């Protein structure tokens, strides 16, 4: 059973070959056969589901222990991953490092230099090339 939807479209942010929003993956048509890119985006889908599940579990527990009035806060669950990704640099770094590791492991690329450059330049992580390379190799 698939847990994601793929749309091949030109409507992807200009500096990326693919993006993920919740369970929806958008990939530029020219990368349709790029297994590594698809696996990278699937990592982000799993991260979104994990954040969703953790938030719902915490809400349910707080609603039971503190007050049922907290239950409506659980409705924010789909926003947890995107908000953390946008606002919390260490979380964004962890997400991208995991995704690029998967991409490099499955994509059959001759070099991983594109991932080092992306981590250093595209995600506002403040990483040098050496730091990005070290993160990918850990």
Q: CB of 8 within 8 A of CB of 27? A: yes
Q: Please, which pLDDT band fits residue 47 given cuts at 50, 70 and 90?
A: very high
Element (H, E) at 19: strand 18-21
Confidence of residue 109 (pLDDT cuts 50, 70, 90): very high
**What average pLDDT is seen over the chain?**
95
Helices (H), the chain: 35-65, 77-87, 89-106, 113-121, 129-137
Report the C-alpha gap between 69 and 63 in whole angstroms. Answer: 7
Cα angle 8, 132, 95; round to 5: 50
Helix/strand/coil for 20: strand
Mean pLDDT of 66-88: 90
pTM, whole model, 2 decimals? 0.93
């Amino acid at each position: 059973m698939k847990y994601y939807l793929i749309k091949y479209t030109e409507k992807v942010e200009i500096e990326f070959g693919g993006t993920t929003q919740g369970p929806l993956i958008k990939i530029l048509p020219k990368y349709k056969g790029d297994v590594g890119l698809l696996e990278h985006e699937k990592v982000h889908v799993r991260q979104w589901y994990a954040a969703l599940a953790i938030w719902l579990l915490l809400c349910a527990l707080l609603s039971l222990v503190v007050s049922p009035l907290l239950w409506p806060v659980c409705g924010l669950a789909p926003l947890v991953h995107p908000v953390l990704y946008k606002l919390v640099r260490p979380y964004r770094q962890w997400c991208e490092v995991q995704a690029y590791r998967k991409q490099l492991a499955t994509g059959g690329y001759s070099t991983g230099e594109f991932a080092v450059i992306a981590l250093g330049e595209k995600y506002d992580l403040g990483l040098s090339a050496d730091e990005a390379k070290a993160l990918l190799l850990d």
